[in-house]
């Protein structure tokens, strides 16, 4: 798989293993440059933690690439979330924080399971936004000839079965800020275009 698979592979392995190579660059997405290259350990940790609201990130584990490009733990966590500084190695970093249920969701996707088997909703945050592929007015699960890369604003996701019609939500980004990505597939999930940095517990 192309862009999406690379992104999700990093999520899965960064949650499940101690080390992992950062996702390979997609020249069409990155221009062959990495936005995190040359960053210090402290800068990488700060970038990773910027993906989630402070009440999540303060207790989250952090994994950053070492000199060989493998993800290694830079900070232990206590709340089940893991944050990484980028998922695409692009010129504009797209950090993510995710919980263990997202790891299960991704494992099923990567193993081509008929549907996700996580038994609780998985939550992930992308405080600096991300990317997806679009073609003919639809979001694609994989890159196809003629597809274009579309930048997403800061958002968070719920990896749980959603149906756009039942939920009364669209299947494409819209001014309302919430939609069902991959609608009509077992891997449909909720996208919420809301800045995680502005979320707070009251």
Q: Which pLDDT score, from 0 to 100, does residue 142 have?
A: 81
Average pLDDT, the chain: 82
Q: Which pLDDT score, from 0 to 100, does residue 202 have?
A: 66
Q: Which pLDDT score, from 0 to 100, does residue 110 have?
A: 75
Q: Which pLDDT score, from 0 to 100, does residue 36 have?
A: 84
3-state SS track over the chain = CCHHHHHHHHHHHHHHCCCCECCCCCHHHHCCCCCCCCCCHHHHHHHHHCCCCHHHHCCCEEEEECCCCEEEEEECCCCCCEEECCCCCCCCCCCEEECHHHHHHHHHHHCCCCCCCCCCCEEEEECCCEEEEEECCEEECCCCCCCEEEEECCEEEEECCCCHHHHCCCCCCCCCCEEEECCCCCCCEEEECCCHHHCCCC
pLDDT in tens, 107-158: 788 788 999 999 999 999 999 998 888 999 999 988 899 999 899 999 999 9
pLDDT profile of the chain (202 residues), mean per 10: 45 37 35 68 94 94 88 94 83 88 82 92 94 91 89 94 95 94 94 90 70
Q: Which pLDDT score, from 0 to 100, does residue 39 have?
A: 87
The residues spanned by each domain of the chain are: 3-198
| pTM to 2 decimal places | 0.80
């Amino acid at each position: 798989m192309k862009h999406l698979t690379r992104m999700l592979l990093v999520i899965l392995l960064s949650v499940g293993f101690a080390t992992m190579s950062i996702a390979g660059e997609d020249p069409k997405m990155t221009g062959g440059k990495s936005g995190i290259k040359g960053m210090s350990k402290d800068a990488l940790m700060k970038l990773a933690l910027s993906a989630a609201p402070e009440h999540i990130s303060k207790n989250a584990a952090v994994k950053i690439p070492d000199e060989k490009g493998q993800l290694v733990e830079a900070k232990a966590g206590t709340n089940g979330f893991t944050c990484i500084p980028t998922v695409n190695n692009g010129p504009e970093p797209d950090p993510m924080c995710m919980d263990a249920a997202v790891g299960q969701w991704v494992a099923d996707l990567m193993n081509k399971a008929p549907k996700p088997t996580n038994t609780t909703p998985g939550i992930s945050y992308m405080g600096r936004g991300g990317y997806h592929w679009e073609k003919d007015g639809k979001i694609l699960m994989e890159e196809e000839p003629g597809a274009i890369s579309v930048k997403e604003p800061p958002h968070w996701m719920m990896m749980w079965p959603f149906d756009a019609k039942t939920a009364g939500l669209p299947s494409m980004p819209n001014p309302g800020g919430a939609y069902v990505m991959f609608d009509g597939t077992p891997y449909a999930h909720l996208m919420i275009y809301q800045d995680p940095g502005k979320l707070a517990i009251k």
